Amino acid sequence: MQNPEEQAKLLKIVLSNCALDDGNLYPTYRKPFGLILKAAETKEWWAWGNLHSPFFLPIIT
């Protein structure tokens, strides 16, 4: 488990801003963390790049 200083450092790296509304926390992620989250939510990891990108991963079904 990380100590509070390490946790705060990690949050500063990953998050750019957070909003609080009626007890709900809405984070805004720094790049590329927001892109990673969207890809994970849509399960479209292949959409990160293109054929010329070293990160291109074709869909295998």
| HEC letters along the chain | CCCHHHHHHHHHHHEEEEEEECCEEEEEECCCHHHHHHHHHHCCHHHHCCCCCCCCCCCCC
Strands 24-29 and 15-21: antiparallel
pLDDT for residue 57: 53
* Better pLDDT: 9 or 36: 9
Q: What's phi and psi for 17, nearest 5 deg?
A: -165, 155
pLDDT for residue 55: 54
Averaged pLDDT for residues 10-24 = 93
Averaged pLDDT for residues 22-38 = 88
Quick: pLDDT tens for 35-51: 888 877 877 655 555 55
User: What confidence tier does 13 reach under pLDDT thresholds 50, 70, 90?
Assistant: very high
